[in-house]
Structure 1
């Protein structure tokens, strides 16, 4: 599996993502549709940290070191040439730009305590944020002297083409008000947040040497004018924050974008024609790619598959729609097909001149809601299951009819079997909207009660899925009818006992991140019978204790050594997790060696526990942080993972540490400002 996810798929010719109208400075109107059913949950920060936890330990391997990032663009005349002195402005060529960015990628990041809480955003008027992070000590609002970065700004701000790695638009850093020669006041004035990803590009730009470039259509005078505005903003920022004059400088790239594209292709994220080059990691693409890999179509019963809607733009090993005879899309707006539609659809499938697969719709998960559901809806669900089964298993259906027939000779006269059809039940993400029909069909086709179907579909068939509580209620309610009509069920529907764990699930299962590691919430952790059914033998609790009784532990024969608690870690942007990475990963590794799996959980399963899971994916698969983040994000099913700023920064430091342990040179794939900006853009469609 590591080889599959680590190899970048070709994406040449694809249009850029995110779409050009999605930016940090636009309203939510016109943004792309979010992945259905995913949401950003609220992560409680817990109480304010005690004084003993305000300064977390620094990162290994040099625990007490003070790290300052260096740059070869300072002093500015080392690689550049002075263009003018008022305001100070310099030129730089493409070769020097490439060398500067390469040098920056090899510099260790300052330790977290050197840059936090400044990176959280500490506005002088935001007393809530200040009181929480600083106990009203104004000194920590000072700009960290250890930070020095490089920010690329494109003249005009259209990043849908001719985009260099990490480039941003001018309006992401420059004020659009009366004083256009000033940086934006990006620190939030109101509210409290430990997830201000949207301000990071601007904050880092203020401690960066800024390089301005234009595309082939840009007037050089426009680029010069923009560079002068930025230089004046830098002077103003230096004066306001007590920094030495020309601590940071502005450069104009004096080579054309086409020259950069030809001579330094690894610096180009989107080429001059608007196509992604595949040279620069793209969060939107990698999330979709990993989601497709995770939920790719697989056979759950003979000739019947579950998976995502086929996407020809993703080279992820997924089936194309041409591999199937019938595609059934689970949709919120679909109606239950009636008998006439099913007959017509069968006739279409049997036509010899039919071209391509037949497309149909069926109501999505959560659409049939007990106790208000009608008998016609359940009749339609059963008719659909029977219809699919007959298409997928014509020989078995024929044999069954033969056994029931008294006139065997009459049956023999018509022995021509219809062709078996391959059926794909699909939806956008491949695991949510299809769950109702997929589970109902699996129960019908395999003759399984609901609780066995739930576990077997996940464990034996390898499917990750998310079902709504209403699906659980409906399927358990109509279970006797499903089994009575099933061609495979031979028992009695009156002697099926439901396990205790079934009544305690809300429809969701813990998210399988790796075969031996699950990510879940406190509710999952407090359902030990379910964990046993899923093959989970260890529980790693991050900041939230489980409430198992001793009786339960004895009944399940659960050793105390298979439970681990990471204490005193709130989701507050202050408490560190870095020091716990090694201990947590050793615990997870022990479960892997035993042949079991570990559930990693916190309260919600999106920040603290997600951080540990990302650290393990980086450790196990050798992925960079951006790719490991998308790997875990895609597999968390119905919620968006949300490690806060400090945890995210610690994971980027963990990437450094991983490379050192593998005796590889330090080289970040993406810089902190770019990572934070991409996460903010990915989450924007889900924000309320």
Structure 2
């Protein structure tokens, strides 16, 4: 199914023509063609103060055409054309999106003095790190400059507020009043000053400074606070779907009272809201829901749940029903319900259904014997339904004799069913994680060699996806010695095992095969799309991983693979006067020269033999890209690399997934910095939005949740605008704050 989705991306989106030139000398290891002196930044759009003022002047001119409510001092929109004009002013490309350098660190939230100090422009991590060890009073007394806060003010933002709660508000990117409000508290107790409602809530312009946590941990992923942080920077558009003018006025009054020092305009819709034809681009019902059937139920789903539904839809595309081995199929719960409702929809007729879930127990021998009788009964027309645990860690490395016998007989039953020409369908909720243990066990009890060999073969196939826990891996290693007895029995009899020689044939737990994988980590990096893989520095350091997946290029962000120390070269920033190895120069620098991009071309076997130190194992790569000094700290930026880097260099970092050479991206873990570059690559080459690309990578990086820090995520949002305008799309569709709110809702179930 991965290829199906990939072809959807290619066939249904405009294609970008690859124009990046080839290196003149592919065998060189030094960046002799490029130097810091001849790398020039590519200018982007003019988003300076003059551009902002131009838009704000147009907004001011528009305001002069409106009437004001004399009691509330708010602008009144009396016609749909007036509403359309305001929305056009905001969503048009003529209203430039502020760059990340303008919006941060403000959007991180500067609630604690340590947060303000760390993100201050003059804070130097090496010089000032001791400041973070001081208490609040000491920092405020001895480091006054770190208390300064810069609040961005120049751009035109429009917060659309639905004054009457609705799961599906008419206008896109709508928020509700509850999303804006923060109750006043003192020591955890709500303060009530008088009977006026507004005194219950904090003014918008101080929310970003409120310190409501006992923790001094630096926060770089405050996705849930973005609506509140944008409130003091924004104009407000207040409406509702009920035509309730009183509700709009009450909401506008409360907003006006809470705006504090901000005097940005408030607009209220004062006509019966009808979905006029010319408002179609701004209506929720017309939002294009990527990867989904326009006629399905997601169109009417609550707007705040759309990313969750998109995640489920993508998982179904990627983990749908497929044949794994002869007679054995795997899929998700939706596939099962579809087959039960419409039996003819399945590619084959199934006789056995196995549900993998967390409360399942291994079926007993008595139950399996009854299942075998049903298989052999030619008059039996029903299906056989079994269950199997999705996690065996509960047994540890010790399993009772009866549980072991049931476990082995379960796979004996599957063998008997398949030999009897009965197809078996294994399903779990998501279609891969829950069924991974069963598939790995099946491989262990089949003629596929050692567990490690089988797992590497499965990872190389890419589909179906397997994701094992360490507990499951070591459980399988503990029962591996019994498999020889099992395999011999399967050739002699067509029934279940009633007993076995419980002394392990090899004695003790089976040893992990000698290689540089499986001892610390189990899973291999997933294929995101085409030739692109995303993983961790441990995976990038493994010869087993690189060779098994046929990786030919590695892109490393700030963390070098361990094999790099085996090379006879050093990067320029590491060189000293005593350096005797060749020095690799950077091909690009950004972040005021602090961040550097290096390229090492490994080329042929002869070149690798020369570069690798004698006696060291070589990795079979053609090239290595290293991006130095980009930390996942909410301060370091990819903005220049994404928007101002020459194409011939950027194409080395943002690799076209349609190329045949396989590329592994990694940082330390593979969820923030490297994920950001993979998301950007899909955006660039498949012309999909940053939200579609983010969700696609999120689902494909299946064994952990990717989440770039807030600044990197904003830079992807800005890069989306950059590509959109470049490709001729002149209207913005997403709002930063509503996207962040949905991402937070998406992540909330996974938060501890």
Q: Kindly provide the CA deviation profile for residues 124-148 of structure 1, in whole angstroms up to 9, marking residues without a partner as x.
A: xx11111101145479623312322
Q: Counterpart of 2:705 in 1: which secondary structure?
A: coil
In the TM superposition, residue 61 of structure 1 has moved relative to its aligned partner by: 2.1
Alpha carbons 2:321, 2:335 under 8 Å: kept: no
- Of 452-461 and 67-76, deviating more is 67-76
Among candidates 515, 535, 550, match of residue 566 of structure 2: 550
Unaligned runs of 5+ in 1: 9-56, 239-244, 395-419
In the alignment, is residue 223 of structure 1 matched against residue 224 of structure 2? no
Alpha carbons 1:369, 1:470 under 8 Å: kept: no
- Of 441-450 and 525-534, deviating more is 441-450
Q: Kindly provide the CA deviation profile for residues 352-371 of structure 1, in whole angstroms up to 9, marking residues without a partner as x.
A: 88787544211113445432
Aligned residues: 593
Among candidates 419, 422, 438, match of residue 393 of structure 1: 419
- For the residues of structure 1 that align with 2:392 and 2:521, how far apart are their CA atoms? 12
Sort the Cα spacing of 1:127 and 1:498 in 2 relative to 1 into closer, same or farther, 3 A. same
Among candidates 91, 94, 102, match of residue 114 of structure 1: 102
- For the residues of structure 2 that align with 1:653 and 1:116, how far apart are their CA atoms? 13
In the alignment, is residue 87 of structure 1 matched against residue 73 of structure 2? yes
Q: Counterpart of 1:526?
A: 541
Alpha carbons 2:357, 2:428 under 8 Å: kept: yes
Q: Counterpart of 2:386?
A: 360
Alpha carbons 1:464, 1:512 under 8 Å: kept: no
In the alignment, is residue 160 of structure 1 matched against residue 167 of structure 2? yes
Sort the Cα spacing of 1:559 and 1:355 in 2 relative to 1 into closer, same or farther, 3 A. closer
Q: Counterpart of 1:392 in 2: which secondary structure?
A: helix
Q: Counterpart of 1:681 in 2: which secondary structure?
A: helix
In the TM superposition, residue 533 of structure 1 has moved relative to its aligned partner by: 1.0
- For the residues of structure 1 that align with 2:623 and 2:485, how far apart are their CA atoms? 41
Among candidates 664, 667, 686, match of residue 728 of structure 2: 664
Among candidates 700, 703, 709, match of residue 635 of structure 1: 700
Q: Kindly provide the CA deviation profile for residues 569-593 of structure 1, in whole angstroms up to 9, marking residues without a partner as x.
A: 1111111123334646524638964
In the TM superposition, residue 341 of structure 1 has moved relative to its aligned partner by: 1.4
In the alignment, is residue 650 of structure 1 matched against residue 715 of structure 2? yes
Alpha carbons 1:117, 1:140 under 8 Å: kept: no
Q: Counterpart of 1:249?
A: 265
Among candidates 115, 120, 137, match of residue 129 of structure 1: 115
Sort the Cα spacing of 1:521 and 1:64 in 2 relative to 1 into closer, same or farther, 3 A. same
Q: Kindly provide the CA deviation profile for residues 512-548 of structure 1, in whole angstroms up to 9, marking residues without a partner as x.
A: 2123111111221222222211222222111212222
Alpha carbons 1:510, 1:518 under 8 Å: kept: yes
In the TM superposition, residue 489 of structure 1 has moved relative to its aligned partner by: 11
- For the residues of structure 2 that align with 1:356 and 1:206, how far apart are their CA atoms? 64
Q: Kindly provide the CA deviation profile for residues 600-631 of structure 1, in whole angstroms up to 9, marking residues without a partner as x.
A: 11112111111111111212322101111110
Q: Counterpart of 2:635 in 1: which secondary structure?
A: coil
Q: Counterpart of 1:444?
A: 445
Sort the Cα spacing of 1:498 and 1:678 in 2 relative to 1 into closer, same or farther, 3 A. same
In the TM superposition, residue 564 of structure 1 has moved relative to its aligned partner by: 2.0
Alpha carbons 2:552, 2:620 under 8 Å: kept: no
- For the residues of structure 1 that align with 2:376 and 2:278, how far apart are their CA atoms? 57
In the alignment, is residue 684 of structure 1 matched against residue 692 of structure 2? no
In the alignment, is residue 377 of structure 1 matched against residue 379 of structure 2? no
Alpha carbons 2:452, 2:518 under 8 Å: kept: no
Alpha carbons 2:551, 2:621 under 8 Å: kept: no
In the alignment, is residue 299 of structure 1 matched against residue 331 of structure 2? no
- For the residues of structure 2 that align with 1:512 and 1:505, how far apart are their CA atoms? 21
Q: Counterpart of 1:141?
A: 149
In the alignment, is residue 577 of structure 1 matched against residue 560 of structure 2? no
Unaligned runs of 5+ in 2: 13-39, 124-143, 185-191, 287-295, 492-504, 568-611
- For the residues of structure 2 that align with 1:312 and 1:150, how far apart are their CA atoms? 45
Q: Kindly provide the CA deviation profile for residues 184-228 of structure 1, in whole angstroms up to 9, marking residues without a partner as x.
A: 443241432011111111222322221222233x74322221122
- Of 649-658 and 375-384, deviating more is 375-384
Alpha carbons 2:534, 2:665 under 8 Å: kept: yes
Q: Counterpart of 2:471 in 1: which secondary structure?
A: helix
Q: Counterpart of 1:201?
A: 227
Sort the Cα spacing of 1:496 and 1:508 in 2 relative to 1 into closer, same or farther, 3 A. closer
- For the residues of structure 2 that align with 1:255 and 1:352, how far apart are their CA atoms? 71
Q: Counterpart of 2:652?
A: 586
- Of 635-644 and 58-67, deviating more is 58-67
Q: Counterpart of 1:39?
A: none
Sort the Cα spacing of 1:590 and 1:332 in 2 relative to 1 into closer, same or farther, 3 A. closer
Alpha carbons 1:150, 1:205 under 8 Å: kept: no
Q: Counterpart of 2:255 in 1: which secondary structure?
A: helix
- For the residues of structure 1 that align with 2:371 and 2:456, how far apart are their CA atoms? 32
- For the residues of structure 2 that align with 1:469 and 1:386, how far apart are their CA atoms? 25
Alpha carbons 1:656, 1:666 under 8 Å: kept: no
- For the residues of structure 2 that align with 1:144 and 1:133, how far apart are their CA atoms? 15
Alpha carbons 2:355, 2:386 under 8 Å: kept: yes
